[in-house]
Amino acid sequence: MMRKIFLALMTSLAALAGTADVASAQSRIKDIAAIEGVRANQLVGYGLVVGLNGTGDSLRNAPFTRQSLEGMTERLGVNIRGANANTKNMAAVLVTAELPPFSTPGARIDVAVSSMGDAKSLLGGTLIVTSLQGADGQIYAVAQGSVQTGSVSGSGGSGSSVTRGVPTAGRIASGATVEAETGFNLDSMTEVRLTLRNPDFTTAQRVAAAINRTYPNTALAENGSVVALRAPAQMGMASFISRVENLPVTVDTPAKVIIDEVNGLIVMGENVRVSTVAIAQGNLTISVQEQPFVSQPAPLSGGETVVVPQSDVTIEEELGKEIRIVEGASSLSTLVNGLNALGVSPRDMISILQAVKAAGALQAEIEVL
């Protein structure tokens, strides 16, 4: 089965390399690069989930939950400090969210809720008002709402239990309201930078050239990762970026072979080449078979009947594995056909590629996962 998958993968790559033209190999700039500063921001907060059906934290084992309960009730005008409160209907949780770029006050975002103590389930609980802070310590959103875990759990009086999913973690869809912006004003910027997701000097130069062909003198490749953009006169930065990100560019990829030895997977880029090399590979099988043999003495000889082991050792070597020459490949399809002619398994192919690389005949980088 693994061999069929490997051959199908290699055949597909060969067909792609043999039939793809420049137009079909192009990608939009928005698919290969990101605008520096236009990104999501992580938010985190500490809160309480209440209304649990006896599945919350044990206040004796979770002192932070007890302290949170005391602080919350004091703000509401109730003092329970020193009281023997042992409710299990609440749980201390961490609330996390992702603030999308350009979010404005009043927008709603999803939040994730995760238990911190020994609560058994958050099913049916309600998160009370929780402020969410960014990495700078500022509050950017406030969360509250019913927690949905999507899990099922049950237990019997004898101690048996069954659980499906993770009942101590859940989500609140649109559970937080954005209260402040991040302060990133794209419209006031005169220059932005594109960051390539896969840094490459050739690709960076092609991106700058594609932009300058349409909007002269507006792009400059600073290095293999960054392309600086300056909007033309009388054009806003947002409008300029929306046009630039849809320009097609031919992406250049390095010659690399990715090997996953655990799963027997090989992936080769289109620029992988191999010099002319001779390869011999064969399988040697040694079989040892034990068959018991009964030794019967002659009548009246006074001997004893014994069982004597009889061993049969055979050695088999697979035929048809003579040395083969893989010609210097000018394309990926030529290389794939030459390697497939060896008729070996994917795991043997991994060893062959590593040996060819050691011999200096594989013009590519090998990365082993």
Residue 11 to residue 339: CA distance in whole angstroms: 11
Indicate whether 174 and 48 sit together in one domain. yes
- Phi and psi based region of residue 137 (left: phi greater than 0; alpha: psi -120 to 50; beta: remaining): left
Indicate whether 48 and 171 sit together in one domain. yes
CA angle (42, 106, 177) in 5-degree steps = 45
Of 294, 317, 340, the domain-final residue: 317
Judged against a pLDDT cut of 80, whether residue 205 lies above it is answered with yes
Residue 16 to residue 320: CA distance in whole angstroms: 30
132 is in which domain, residue-wise?
Answer: 41-152+160-178
Residue 367 to residue 357: CA distance in whole angstroms: 11
Tell which wins on pLDDT, 236 or 301: 236
pLDDT-based confidence at residue 267 (cuts at 50, 70, 90)? confident
Indicate whether 60 and 137 sit together in one domain. yes
pLDDT at 18: 46
In sequence order, the β-bridge partners of residue 250 are 26
pTM tops 0.75, yes or no: no
What amino acid is encoded at 171 in this protein? R
pLDDT at 48: 92
Q: Are 2 and 159 in contact (CB under 8 A)?
A: no
What backbone torsions phi and psi does residue 261 show, to the nearest 5 degrees? -70, -30
Indicate whether 165 and 293 sit together in one domain. no
Judged against a pLDDT cut of 80, whether residue 94 lies above it is answered with yes
Indicate whether 171 and 47 sit together in one domain. yes
> Which tokens hold the place of 336?
């794939």
Residue 141 to residue 136: CA distance in whole angstroms: 13
Of 178, 213, 228, the domain-final residue: 178
Q: Are 210 and 242 in contact (CB under 8 A)?
A: no
**DSSP H stretches of helix in the chain:** 2-19, 29-32, 63-75, 201-214, 237-244, 332-340, 346-358
Reported in sequence order, the residue ranges of 181-283 that DSSP labels E, i.e. its strands, are 191-196, 219-221, 226-230, 248-250, 256-260, 265-268, 273-274, 277-279
Indicate whether 50 and 142 sit together in one domain. yes
* Of 209, 144, 356, 184, the residue nearest 268 (C-alpha): 356
CATH code: domain of residue 244: 3.30.1360
Q: Are 365 and 256 in contact (CB under 8 A)?
A: yes
Indicate whether 358 and 257 sit together in one domain. yes
* Of 45, 50, 52, the residue nearest 72 (C-alpha): 50
pLDDT-based confidence at residue 313 (cuts at 50, 70, 90)? low
pLDDT-based confidence at residue 321 (cuts at 50, 70, 90)? low
Residue 90 to residue 122: CA distance in whole angstroms: 9
Residue 71 to residue 92: CA distance in whole angstroms: 13
Indicate whether 69 and 173 sit together in one domain. yes
Indicate whether 218 and 342 sit together in one domain. no
Residue 87 to residue 89: CA distance in whole angstroms: 6
Q: Are 359 and 279 in contact (CB under 8 A)?
A: no
* Of 32, 39, 38, 37, the residue nearest 208 (C-alpha): 32
Indicate whether 75 and 167 sit together in one domain. yes
Judged against a pLDDT cut of 70, whether residue 328 lies above it is answered with no
Of 233, 250, 267, the domain-final residue: 250
Tell which wins on pLDDT, 327 or 170: 170
Q: Is 44 helix (H, G, I), strand (E, B) or coil?
A: strand
* Lowest pLDDT segment from 25-39, 60-74, 171-185, 337-351: 337-351
Q: Name the residue with tokens 């031919």.
A: 250
Instruction: Encode pLDDT of 352-361 as tens digits.
Output: 778 878 877 7
Q: What is the mean pLDDT of the chain?
A: 79
Indicate whether 105 and 63 sit together in one domain. yes
Judged against a pLDDT cut of 90, whether residue 133 lies above it is answered with yes
Indicate whether 222 and 346 sit together in one domain. no
Q: How many domains does the chain have?
A: 4
> Which tokens hold the place of 5?
């998958």
pLDDT at 20: 44
